[in-house]
Amino acid sequence: MEEQITEAVKKALGEAPERKFVESIEMAFTIKDVDLKNPTNRIEENVRLPHGRGKKISVAMFAEAEMATKAKAAGIVVIDPNKIEDLGGDRQKARKLARKHDFFLSEVPHMATIGRFLGIVLGPRGKMPRPVPPNVDPGMIAEGLSNTAIIRSRDKITFHTIVGARSQTEVHISENAFEMWKRVTSKLERGADNIRSLYIKTSMGPAIKVEVLN
């Protein structure tokens, strides 16, 4: 499949017109013969891309006192935990917050409050915060997330994720995409046989079909 994915990446880059911004590279799977009504069959993976996402990400953290200071020093956006309830009461503001940041972190004591007031907004988007214990540097977690892509099927047979950015080389994008392919198929009972179709595209470019070898 490496060759097929590489060829699709090359075609996707070649057929997409240049933009005034750096487009993400997306990979879309459609699976078959999988009962997604059963939660245990759903795909939900954090995939470490070999060459990173190719674009800077935004990480926010619910923290205060010393942990907030550490987070700020690492370039993490700090959210005052005292504002969690207010955010939960303003759905529009909560959605805006969810769209603004790629990942969320939180000190452990605030996790229950976040789940209660913001879970309905962050949960479906796969953005519930990762808990950070007192002795862990949030900067290290944020650094790891800069190379991480999340792929989630929920109950849909078609789902997609980011595998890089147009600022990266064709080789690096292809290797990222192949890593994603391996992770997704490893979670399916019949591997590639459970893949109905696979496409690769830039954010605004044409979708290029990948020949799936079973």
pLDDT (0 to 100) of residue 136: 95
pLDDT (0 to 100) of residue 80: 96
Q: Are residues 139 and 63 in the same domain?
A: yes
Identify whether 123 is part of a domain.
Answer: yes
Q: Are residues 13 and 43 in the same domain?
A: yes
pTM: 0.85
Q: Are residues 130 and 67 in the same domain?
A: yes
Identify whether 214 is part of a domain.
Answer: no
The number of domains in the chain is 2
Closest CA to 204 of 58, 13, 8, 29: 13
Going by pLDDT thresholds of 50, 70 and 90, the confidence category of residue 96 is: very high
Range of the domain at 192: 2-54+147-209
Q: Are residues 154 and 190 in the same domain?
A: yes
Q: Tokens standing for 54?
A: 């190719």
Show which of 125, 145, 165 is a domain's final residue. 145
pLDDT (0 to 100) of residue 58: 95
pLDDT tens-digit series, residues 8-63: 999 999 999 989 999 999 999 999 999 999 999 999 999 999 999 998 899 999 99
pLDDT tens-digit series, residues 97-121: 999 999 999 999 999 999 999 999 9
Q: Are residues 105 and 162 in the same domain?
A: no
CATH number, domain with residue 124: 3.40.50.790
- Using alpha carbons only, what angle is made at residue 111 by residues 134 and 38, rounded to the nearest 5 degrees? 125
**Cβ neighbours of residue 92 under 8 Å, at least 6 residues apart?**
none
Q: How many CA atoms lie within 13 A of 182 on its CB side?
A: 11
pLDDT (0 to 100) of residue 32: 96
pLDDT (0 to 100) of residue 214: 72
Q: Are residues 107 and 79 in the same domain?
A: yes
In angstroms, the CA 138 to CA 73 distance is 10
Q: Are residues 95 and 120 in the same domain?
A: yes
**Which residues does residue 158 pair with via DSSP β-bridges, in sequence order?**
30
Show which of 145, 166, 184 is a domain's final residue. 145
pLDDT tens-digit series, residues 152-210: 999 999 999 999 999 999 999 999 999 999 999 999 999 999 999 999 999 999 999 99
Going by pLDDT thresholds of 50, 70 and 90, the confidence category of residue 126 is: confident
pLDDT (0 to 100) of residue 148: 93
Q: Are residues 82 and 140 in the same domain?
A: yes
